[in-house]
Chains A and B, each alone.
Chain A
Amino acid sequence: MATLQIREALRAAIDEEMARDERVFVMGEEVGHYDGAYKVTEGLLKKYGERRVVDTPIAEAGFAGIGIGAAMCGLRPIIEFMTFNFSAVAFDQILNNAAKLHQLTAGQFTLPMVFRGPNGAAHMLSSTHSQAFESFYCGFPGVKVVSVATPYDAKGLLKTAIRDDNPIIFFESEIMYANRGEVPDEEYLIPIGKADIKRPLTGTGIGVTVITWGQGLSVALAAAELAAPEGLDCEVIDLRSLRPLDDEAVLASVRKTNRVVLVYHGWPYGGTGAEVSDRIQRLAFDHLDAPVLRVCYEDVNMPYAENLEQLVLPSPAKALEAFREVAYRKV
């Protein structure tokens, strides 16, 4: 086992897949000569050269489209967005081309490609640079959407995403790139569509299912720590795959705890949090002892000021409050 940062785990995944398959290449702003805006692709230009590690001008719609066109010819692009905020410029390419061409061409073309980069708020970047894009990219068919929160998941899921023949949206986080964790030395893959229990129930106290992903994970785990002394026993489920969703993992936990709180980075209106809540009320209605609650961004554009940003973001304290509420422990 090696201890890697998330950025190193992602790099290892890209490196291994590039070594394994000549058709895999990386494209994006500053991915090559600058070694990546957040150093995910550090060293890859040196190793693979300019043919396979391609620096682009600032032209997200252009290079997303180049990736799509190349994928239709059988290449396997990894398209890096410096952050997903800038993918807004390329949204048409993803929505109307990447997600639709397989179906529109009755299967004549496949789009084996990954759009990856950091997503969600970082720290004091204000509204245009602090957005979580799950609600946009999970909102239409034709793509798979993945969000990783540990080095182990980052490596295993990115390798799977690169090998998948569908277009994959792959969310990372700039404030998590330096997070460390154990990664096996031998090769492994993690299937897309499988959630992971990051903190199991201990069996003592009132059970609460906490569903999270991405940056939400650390908030959920911290809140679970705070809740334990109060007799609130949290099972923290990291969805990892946001589309498709692992209904079974969620429902199995809900059947045990009868209480659910979602903790995530993203706006409350629509999106993955709303979708999961809907599935729970529809598929596990008889198992619920309390309404499903969501701890996420407040429904405002992100302000720059630190005190305001902290109020808008989900926090362990807010999550704890929600755990108490579903357990009818409101103080």
Chain B
Amino acid sequence: MSRDTARKTDTSPPSSGAGPDLDHLRHLYTQMLRIRRFEEAAARAYTQGKISGFLHLYIGQEAIAVATADLMEPGDRVVTTYRDHGFAIALGCDSGACMAELFGKATGLVGGVGGSMHFFAKDKGLWGGYAIVGSHVPVAAGHAFASKYNQDGRVTLCFLGEGAMHIGATAEGMNLAGLWRLPIVFVIENNMYAMGTPLSRQSPVDDLTSRAPGWALASDRFVVNDVLETRTRLAEAVAHARNENRPALVELLTYRFRGHSMSDPGKYRTKDEVDEWRSRDPLHRSEQQLRDAGITEDALTAIDDGIIAEMDAATAFADESPLPEPAHRFRHNLIEDV
């Protein structure tokens, strides 16, 4: 997904002659805010019983998906977990189609068969949406294998929680990527907890990139405070993967502001800890940067108003969309099933 295509869904007002950096920052901020507002709308719909199943929100981690979408080149791929709405929005999936998927409607991203945990939009670069922890890691390495095989210059970005670092599929996928020098960047979104389990009870070491040398992966590790910094450092890893077939393991220290899923009250974290991370919210930081660069309060309000209107429309679209046709349950189990 190139930045320009992603901008089609950008609801920010037209640039008023400000410099390109301000435009860029405004774009990233807008995308982050779109994810935040989408997730808030989804949480409301869940509370109203319009969404069911498991709903894992991306609130707090938006900068990662937005930085990623911004640096990708056409044909690059994102493979991620069940916490996938943020990437879908960042990569330019229609917010109405995303919401309709959560509502289990025919107009959903995959026609209502997958729900929250299984978003796929191949043409936008979103290659899943995987709900079994770790199982997407070798699959993502397989995409990179195909890229190397075809010499197509594409890079796969594989996202996983720190909780997925301790399961066999992850180790096998990363070893194979290192062994065969596949064009892939594995990105750990270390939000400190796998459900209720802090990293200290998952891993004997804190620094998960300490495993990178054993798989001959390049590595980087930093706190996600700033969307631009995140973009720059991820882009570096992606460039090495693309140009030198040098796979990497990047650990991003981040935080989910809500529970693991809507059914998790999150009692295992202290209020102080949550507040501390909230006070460093990358979304608010970029908002402040926009202010410092001279954007007016009115302009900021206009951005938010536009996004809120977009998400209201997405929710209304999902609500009013038809249920899938009954016969659709027989579709696509095999190619013959149309």
Contact = CB atoms under 8 A, between A and B. Distances in A.
B202 interface: yes
A191 B163 CA distance: 39
Contact of A123 (B52, B105, B112, B117): B52
A125 B106 CA distance: 17
Contacts of A307: 104, 323-324, 326
B54 A308 contact: no
Main secondary structure of the interface of A (DSSP, over half): loop
B196 interface: yes
B328 to A, nearest CB: 7
A301 interface: yes
B148 to A, nearest CB: 27
Interface in B225-268: 268
A34 interface: yes
Contacts of A34: 195-197, 268
A30 B105 CA distance: 33
A126 B329 contact: no
Contacts of B74: none
B223 interface: no
Contact of B112 (A33, A301, A304): A304
Contacts of B43: none
A129 B131 contact: yes
Interface string A292-313: 0000001111011111100110
Given A85-B132, A123-B53, A308 B114 contact: no
A138 to B, nearest CB: 22
B163 A126 contact: no
B167 interface: yes
A300 B104 CA distance: 17
Interface in B250-300: 268
Interface in A97-141: 123-129
Contacts of A55: 197, 201
Contact of A300 (B52, B117, B169, B330): B330
A128 B133 CA distance: 11
Nearest to B112: A305
A305 B53 contact: no
Interface string A154-172: 0000000000000000000
Interface in B297-331: 323-324, 326, 328-330
Shortest 6 CB-CB distances between A and B: which pairs? A304-B115, A305-B104, A305-B112, A34-B196, A57-B166, A124-B52
Interface of B: 52-54, 101, 104-106, 108, 112-115, 117-118, 131-135, 163-164, 166-169, 194-197, 201-203, 268, 323-324, 326, 328-330, 333
9 contacts: A55-B201, A58-B166, A59-B168, A89-B169, A125-B53, A127-B118, A298-B330, A303-B113, A305-B115
Interface of A: 29-30, 33-34, 37, 55, 57-62, 85-86, 88-89, 123-129, 298-301, 303-308, 311-312
